[in-house]
Amino acid sequence: MFKYQVSRTTGSTGWVIQRITGIVLVVVMISHYILMHYNPESGHSYEAVLARMQSSWYRVLDLTFIVLGMYHGLNGVWGIFRDYKLKPWQSITVFSLILVLGLAFTLWGIKTILDIPYVTSSSTTFLVK
C-alpha cells in the first residue's frame, strides 16, 4: 500500500503564507490608497504626514504594509531562485543575501515609522488648518 511521506522541504508552508500575505496586502493596499491618495485633501506635506501619524492606526497600517510587503516580496524572489537547480553553496549565498538585505530594509522601514515623533496637543495647533 502507498504511504504518504511528509517532507519538511516541500515548501507548502511558505506557499500558504505567501498566499495569505498576498490577500492581506491587497486589503492593506486598498486601505492605503483610500486613506492616502483617494482624498486629495489628505496632503503629502511634512505637516500632513506628521498630523496623520499621530494616530496609532496609521502607524499600524504602515508597519503592517512594510513587514508583510517585505516578506511577500522576498519570499517571492527566493521562490524564483528555488526554481533553478543551484548548487548548495549558491543556495546558501542567495538565501543569506535575501535574508540579510530583507532584515536590514525591514528594520530601516520600521525605524522610520517609529521615529516619527508624537506631538503634544499644545504644539499641534500649527498642524490644523
Task: Kindly report the pTM of this predicted structure.
Answer: 0.77
**What are the pLDDT digits (tens) for 78-91?**
989 988 888 999 99
Q: What's the whole-number mean pLDDT along residues 96-108?
A: 97
Q: Flag whether 105 is in a domain.
A: yes
Cell numbers standing for residue 38: 483617494
Q: What is the pLDDT of residue 52?
A: 84
Q: In this structure, how many other beta carbons lie within 10 angstroms of the beta carbon of residue 70? A: 19
Instruction: Return the CATH number at 52.
Output: 1.20.1300
**What are the pLDDT digits (tens) for 44-89?**
778 888 888 888 888 998 999 999 999 999 999 998 998 888 899 9
Q: Flag whether 3 is in a domain.
A: no
Q: Flag whether 4 is in a domain.
A: no
Nearest to 26 by CA among 80, 75, 76, 68: 68
For 96, the 3-state DSSP assignment is helix
* Domain tally, the chain: 1
Q: Flag whether 112 is in a domain.
A: yes
Q: Flag whether 87 is in a domain.
A: yes
User: What range does the domain containing 110 cover?
Assistant: 13-116
